[in-house]
Amino acid sequence: TGGHTTEILRLLSCLSESYSPRHYVLADSDKMSEAKIRSFEEKRAETFSRSQFTLDRIPRSREVRQSWISSVVTTLYSILYSLPLTYKRKPDLILCNGPGTCVPVCLSAFLLGLLRIKRTVIVYVESICRVETLSLSGKILYYFSDYFIVQWPDLKKKYPKSVYLGRIV
């Protein structure tokens, strides 16, 4: 919600019309992001008349201040919920930037690739706010993403697999 949504929409505004349809995945408790996405897509439709998108909701994998032990259970539940969605959508590319919701979706897509059902390219962009350390989502998806993009040179030094592109949002 909020900052992550704003960052991802800035990234999406740079993409061509060929990145369509877009499938947004939101936490079921996230009300603010849906309005931002719909507004973004309405403006995008003015430029790209054939632009298409969908909105899907999954259970939130971790609430703010939720205990680590209980978040394991809720994240596993969210992964199980994400598997049929990922199988149904069969995305070519997942572009994500850090909210906990992206972890179950990316892990589901990774699993579908391991099972040779559908290979999905996972691009993770760490938030501009993460200057010295990775977010929890980043620490997990560092190992599962095809491209791991950081926006600060110090993070590139600490995480050699990452790609430093400077500020992109």
Whether residue 54 is contained in a domain is answered as yes
The domain total for the chain is: 1
What percentage of the chain has pLDDT greater than the value 90?
Answer: 75
Q: Show the tokens assigned to 56.
A: 């899907």
**Cβ neighbours of 126 (radius 10 Å):** 26
Q: Where are the beta strands (DSSP E) in 36-120?
A: 53-58, 93-96
> Tell me: the pLDDT tens digits for 143-156?
999 999 999 999 99
Whether residue 96 is contained in a domain is answered as yes
> Tell me: the pLDDT tens digits for 75-108?
999 999 999 999 999 999 999 998 889 999 999 9
Closest CA to 30 of 61, 70, 74, 71: 61
Tell me, what CATH number does 96's domain have? 3.40.50
Whether residue 169 is contained in a domain is answered as no
Whether residue 7 is contained in a domain is answered as yes
Provide the pLDDT confidence category of residue 21 given band limits of 50, 70 and 90.
very high
Instruction: State yes or no: pLDDT of 1 exceeds 60.
Output: no
Element (H, E) at 106: helix 102-114
Which amino acid is it at 160?
P
